[in-house]
Chains A and B, each alone.
Chain A
Amino acid sequence: MSQIPLDSAGKRPRFFPSSGTDESVSMILELMSEVWIVRERLYALEQVIEDAGIDVSDRLEKWRPTAEQDLKLDKQREQFIKSVLRSLEANHVPGRHLRRSLDTAAQADDAGEQLTEAVQVA
């Protein structure tokens, strides 16, 4: 069974004239989602532990990872960085995008041909 792709095929539009801004927006939004996930998980975790009658803040300050835990965190951190910086990865599937939008009914009628053109250009 092949893996389901995460990204849609084709070139992403650019909304900003200055180079890099579009990528920065993607990074910020991905970062926001990652930060939110952590905040929600941390809150839930602290509630679970407090419910078990343990003083979380004191224990957290004293906690140190084992070698195995350390390795796991290393890997997760690497994945985290890849995910936040995904717009800089060269992993978008080439091809399969329309080179221009179709403004008129006549153009839409010819869309089949334009699609062919787009595929050939890629």
Chain B
Amino acid sequence: MINNLNHELKVESTKNERSRQEFVAALRSHVLGDMASHMRDRYHSRYGAETKATSGTDVHEAMQSDPYFRYYSAVRYNAQEMVFRSVVPTIDRNHDKLNATAATISSKTNSQANIDPDLAIPRSVSEIDVHLAPGSYHTEYAENDVAAGAIYDNSINVFAFNQMGRNMDDIGHTISNYLRLSYPDFSPERILDCGCTVGHNTLPWKQTFPDAEVTGVDVSAPIVRYGASRAGSMGIDVNFMQMNATSLDFPDNHFDVVFSSMFLHELPLKDIHAYMAEAFRVLRPGGVLLTMELPPNESLGPYEQFYLDWDCYYNNEPFYKAFRDQNYRELCSRAGFDTDAFFEFEAPRYTYMSEAEFIKELNAEKRLDDSTGTLTDDLRWFGFGCWKQS
């Protein structure tokens, strides 16, 4: 049984809607588990030796006419559509009530998002329905609307089939605790999360560093409105602002940590460069850029490259592969960071084990493979970062 949302913005599904959500979550688990593993074995036994593939593109070419790849892709694509089809009717039916509840919570808990009505929505969001989300991230259907936030929150709950934490917040807990445990003398006062969506991975920073001021920014008004209200409902004090991370409205040297998760792979390369330069600018000397992402293609074998790049070709995430083809150290260097202070890491899921186990796994030998960044039981998150030298 999949998670429930643990806050007051939860919309009540009918029994049938709930069954449909459970079904879609199970279908995704099946295609990313059983079917993905059959497909990998099939590739290695049938094509691996003879194709002499050196890149994910070579593997993609070899697999494109394979019947199993076709069924895998068709089922996975349909399952992604069905994620949204399983949650939108519930939200649509409860839309007025949802917006009213969000407004009440925000005013009661003093957790209003800071909205910028003049902000131009980047075309990478407005021109395509990113990862097949109807209306993409930003569409507003009513005044002070939060529906896009609810769609995101509810759909990721089905999408993740319990692999991303109780509040879909494991990435935030894992990366913030990685920082706390790896650098015990570092005590951040101001933390920024860029492309934060509904803040599911922003709130854990406040939980890990309770004395810090934590801010999340995103280009979508309905998403940050929902995020602020969700945080208010959960009693966690975080600022939400509608802002484009490629042009941050903060002074130089302001933050101790600039974080993002699953964000860069949705951006065109020029926006990635602009974001990295802004992150460098707003970080104080001695502060740290921390980026949770999918691992770079250069660190993976051809099959694993192909496997992760599926989303670029078939999930309306057109910038995904171009980002993963970059050298992450060079991205930092180009933005002004001294790459002697560059680091990358893998971490197991913090909320799925004891802290002692987490520390033990952190210190284990690094092993990037096909369970890095993919939703399997021994999932580990990948990250990279760079200190801004004093």
Contacts and interface: CB of A to CB of B under 8 A. Distances in A.
Interface residues of B, number: 57
A42 B326 CA distance: 52
Contacts of A119: 127
B367 interface: no
A37 B123 contact: no
* Residue in B124, B128, B133, B141 whose Cβ sees the most chain A Cβ within 10 Å: B128
Given A3-B92, A5-B135, A29 B82 contact: yes
A101 B321 contact: yes
B15 A44 contact: yes
Nearest to A83: B85
- Interface of chain B, helix or strand or loop or mixed? helix
B325 interface: yes
A49 interface: no
Contacts of A13: 73, 77, 313-314
Interface string B306-325: 00000011101011011101
Interface in A1-53: 1-10, 12-13, 15-17, 21-22, 25-26, 29-30, 32-33, 36-37, 40-41, 44
B360 interface: no
B20 interface: yes
A37 B84 contact: no
A28 to B, nearest CB: 9
Contact of B269 (A2, A32, A108): A108
B318 A98 contact: yes
A107 B22 CA distance: 39
B15 A29 contact: no
Nearest to B86: A33
13 contacts: A5-B135, A6-B134, A9-B129, A9-B134, A15-B74, A33-B24, A36-B19, A36-B22, A102-B318, A105-B326, A107-B322, A108-B322, A115-B127
Given A6-B89, A8-B132, 20 more contacts: A1-B95, A4-B88, A4-B95, A7-B134, A8-B84, A8-B316, A9-B129, A10-B128, A15-B73, A15-B74, A29-B75, A30-B82, A37-B19, A40-B15, A41-B15, A98-B318, A102-B321, A104-B325, A112-B123, A115-B128
Interface of B: 15-16, 19-20, 22-24, 27, 57, 65, 69-71, 73-75, 77-79, 81-82, 84-86, 88-89, 91-92, 95-96, 123-124, 127-129, 132-135, 141-142, 147, 151, 268-270, 312-314, 316, 318-319, 321-323, 325-326
Closest 9 A/B residue pairs (Cβ): A108-B322, A8-B129, A37-B19, A8-B132, A25-B74, A5-B134, A15-B70, A1-B142, A115-B127
